[in-house]
Structure 1
Amino acid sequence: MPELADRDEEWPVVRSEDLHRDDWVVALRADWLQRPGHPDDQPFKRLVLEHPGAVVIVAVDDQQRVFCLWQYRHPAGRRFVELPAGLLDVAGEDPLEAARRELREEAGLEASDWTALTTTYSSPGISGELLHYFVARGLSAADRDDFVAEHEEAEMQTGWVPAADLLAAAVDGALGDAHTVIALLMAQARGLLEV
């Protein structure tokens, strides 16, 4: 049996073509791969969504409530219950610093205690997007800096939800945002979310 751990591996790319690229941080390209050790095989095409990565924050107050967002997501055609999150769209920014920034911008909060939960790939069959998950405690009100909510974020609702209720909704399948579910279950599994 192979080792029970992911490992880095690169297959040869014989050709690459941009399908969409603009001034936003996400792009789509097609790569043609060659199976290692099989030079006579025809190269095969795979789509790659380039993504800078993101952070997700489980912000827990002293009453064991979690700060949540209710936000519309056009590709899915749904309003999701989510946690504060955001792109690593500042060049060279450390994921923890991005998490601090996103918590200020989306929740108007800062935290004195941060715990890294895990890092996962969102959908490795199409993207190298890495998600960094954190638990934030010791919360207090913070200035949102120069953040201005626009587009879908302008319609976003926010509120505090008891951790037990939020976890129950995740386990019952009422929450469909994978990052919210992963963050909550990891926080509970690591003993960082009391229910």
Structure 2
Amino acid sequence: MKRIGVADVADSPEEWEVVASFDRFESKIISVRTDRVRMPLDDTADRDYVTHPGSVAVLALDEHERVLMLRQYRHPVRGMLWELPAGIRDVSGEPTWLTAARELAEEAAYRATTWHTLVDLYSSPGMTNERIRVFLARGLTEIPESERDFEHHHEEIGMPVVWVPLAEAVGKVQSGMIHNSPAVAGILAAYAAFADGFASLRPADAPEA
């Protein structure tokens, strides 16, 4: 077996043989599938997972190094969670940073002039193929009331928006007060990237592995 070192620590694409596949459920956004996968030693095992189009999230950071956060009800976990502006990749062919800019405008009524890729993650790779790209947005301006044409529905109605100092947001993550996965990842990644003035971040249109 090849000896693995620190230089080898990087996720890589790989696909094991699927000998059979069964669709269990399908809705407007997600579906549930069972794949029978060939395992080592020529064994097979069934793997159930949710297929998902993917998501984006935005860590909007103002000139005072504060993070824009909003609170939304999440029924599966029965909780009001503090999150970043986020949404589903629901427009075919749309660049992900434009999807993120649209979500920032619709959910928080802000625009940004500077965009970078902050962090990529799989929300729960053992049970879904959902991938999330979190962007860093800076150079923020609030959209005037007269230019806002998005109508909020359901859980999005009445979402409060709070500006949280980045260091305090890190503390809230570490103390278990923030649980949303892209919010946790984005806050910690932004705090780490702040050390070099965000110079090491990838461009907004960086390819996804």
TM-score by length of 1: 0.90
- Which residue, 15, 20, 24 being the options, matches 1:19? 24
Amino acid of the structure 2 residue aligned with 1:147: F
Given residue 181 of structure 1, which amino acid in structure 2 is its aligned partner?
V
1:11-50 paired onto structure 2 within 5 Å: 11-22=16-27, 24-35=28-39, 38=42, 41=43, 43-50=44-51
User: Which residue pairs with 1:157 in the alignment?
Assistant: 160
Q: Which residue of 2 aligns with 1:96?
A: 97
| Corresponding residue of 1:70 | 71
1:48-87 matched pairs, under 5 angstroms: 48-87=49-88
* Residues 95-146 of structure 1: per-residue CA shift (max 9 Å, x gap): 1111111100111000001111121111111111111111111101226754
Question: Of 2, 9, 16, which residue of structure 1 is paired with 2:14?
Answer: 9
| SS of alignment partner, residue 76 of structure 2 | helix
1:171 counterpart = 2:182: no
Query: Contact 1:86–1:99 (CA<8 Å) still a contact in 2?
Result: yes
What is the aligned residue count?
190
| Aligned mate of 1:180, from 180, 183, 192 | 183
- Structure 1: which 5+ residue stretches go unaligned? none
Which structure 2 residue ranges, 5 or more long, are not aligned? 198-209
CA distance, structure 2, for counterparts of residue 68 and residue 18 of structure 1: 37
Instruction: Give percent identity, aligned residues only.
Output: 38
Aligned equivalent of 1:136:
137
State the distance in 2 between where 1:164 and 1:109 align.
Answer: 22
Task: Give the corresponding residue for 2:119.
Answer: 118
Amino acid across the alignment from 1:11? W
SS of the residue corresponding to residue 194 of structure 2 reads: coil
Equivalent residue letter for 2:60: A
SS at match of 2:170: helix
CA distances 1:136-163 after superposition (whole Å, capped 9, x unpaired): 1110122675422111111422222222
Give the superposition deviation at 1:193.
9.9
TM-score by length of 2: 0.84
Secondary structure (helix, strand or coil) at the match of 1:191 reads helix
Provide runs of 4+ in structure 1 moved above 6 Å. none
Name the Cα RMSD after superposition: 1.9
